[in-house]
Amino acid sequence: MIHLKSKEEIAKLHRAADLVSRTLGMFAGEIKPGVSTLQLDTLAEEFIRDNGATPSFKGLYGFPNACCISPNAQVVHGFPSKDPIKEGDIISIDCGACIDGYHGDQAFTFAVGEIDPRTARLLKVTRESIYKGLSQVKAGNRIGDIGHAVQRYCEGYGYGVVRDLCGHGIGKKVHEDPQVPNYGSAHKGELIEEGMVLAVEPMINMGTYRVRQLKDGWTILTNDMKPSAHFEHDVAVVDGRPVLLSTYKYIDMAQGVTSDEEKPFEYNWE
Ligand code: MG
Ligand code: MG
């Protein structure tokens, strides 16, 4: 069942999403060779708790950590580990926080130092694809319009769009209806309505779209062991149009870059 949210609830979801965005922003200065992903996870949990929130993923379906951290060929649901990060790695971090009963859920794939130019393009295109999807989150459209836009854009570069995992509704639970696939047909699926809040999260592989799960029961990695990127934003339908609840501005600020990609999705929260 799809729970549509009031503007008051959307404001609370924005608060939670913004805290996750600030947590990811903090990572931008911390991800460097020699640091372990477990150290990053500890930092995230401390930051979330210091801000009066709880890490949404810790204990969710039995997951032990605050963040899913998935390097290189890992797609999603990787465990933070003691292995040190290396120059040239890409690190996908997926993080969630709950404040006042409402969740935020966001992901970003970070480059560690100089990375292979082909991998850099995968990150760029996956990040761009999320906005192709978000622009479809309008009242009157259908859920299939989102995945259709993401798929078209990414397959145009020859990339594999992961089928086995998808985005979702978000609210008082991290994962709510509807499911939001990153592939599919335009004009198909559930109707997008005022008050709908979604986590849109393209998982895009450099090679095949096929993935497999490790015996740990969690870690998803690409079948061909080529790299995979994961970007995720929370978005609400307000006044019929897509409004971003999460932001990459803290990451961009920390990395000294500017972008106007979020402009069409801004909202005056005052
Ligand atoms: Mg997530
Ligand atoms: Mg999610």
Distance of CA 156 to the CA centre of its chain: 21
CA 61 – ligand 1 centroid, Å = 14
Q: Specify whether the CB–CB gap between 247 and 16 falls below 8 A.
A: no
Average pLDDT in the chain:
97
What are the pLDDT digits (tens) for 68-86?
Answer: 999 999 999 999 999 999 9
pLDDT band at 118 (very low <50, low <70, confident <90, very high): very high
Q: Specify whether the CB–CB gap between 266 and 135 falls below 8 A.
A: no
Q: What is the DSSP letter of 28?
A: T
| C-alpha triplet 220, 48, 252: angle, nearest 5° | 75
Q: Specify whether the CB–CB gap between 86 and 128 falls below 8 A.
A: no
Q: Count CB neighbours of 239 within 10 A.
A: 9
**180 - beta bridge partners?**
167
CA 269 – ligand 2 centroid, Å = 23
Of the bound ligands, which one is closest to the alpha carbon of residue 69? 1
CA 70 – ligand 1 centroid, Å = 12
CA 167 – ligand 2 centroid, Å = 6
CA 26 – ligand 1 centroid, Å = 17
What are the pLDDT digits (tens) for 200-237?
Answer: 999 999 999 999 999 999 999 999 999 999 999 999 99
| C-alpha triplet 61, 67, 68: angle, nearest 5° | 75
Tokens of 71: 């390097």
What are the pLDDT digits (tens) for 169-211?
Answer: 999 999 999 999 999 999 999 999 999 999 999 999 999 999 9
The yes or no reply on domain 7-265 and CATH 3.40.50.1000 is no
Q: What are phi and psi of 154, to 5 degrees?
A: -75, -40
Of the bound ligands, which one is closest to the alpha carbon of residue 55? 1
What are the pLDDT digits (tens) for 230-258?
Answer: 999 999 999 999 999 999 999 999 999 99
Q: Is the Cα dihedral 185, 93, 206, 257 positive or negative?
A: positive
Q: What are phi and psi of 14, to 5 degrees?
A: -65, -40
DSSP per-residue string spanning 64-114 = -SSEEEEETTEEE-PPP-SSBP-TT-EEEEEEEEEETTEEEEEEEEEE-SS
pLDDT band at 153 (very low <50, low <70, confident <90, very high): very high
CA 27 – ligand 2 centroid, Å = 18
Tokens of 68: 């899913």
Q: Which whole number is the average pLDDT over 109-128?
A: 98
Of the bound ligands, which one is closest to the alpha carbon of residue 94? 1
Ion ligand 2: protein residues whose beta carbon lies under 5 Å: 105, 199
CA 105 – ligand 2 centroid, Å = 5
**111 - beta bridge partners?**
90
Of the bound ligands, which one is closest to the alpha carbon of residue 168? 2
CA 94 – ligand 1 centroid, Å = 5
CA 126 – ligand 2 centroid, Å = 15
How far apart (Å, rounded) are the C-alpha atoms in residues 38 and 28?
Answer: 15
pLDDT of 61 over the 90 cut: yes
CA dihedral defined by 55, 167, 169, 188, rounded to 10 degrees? 180
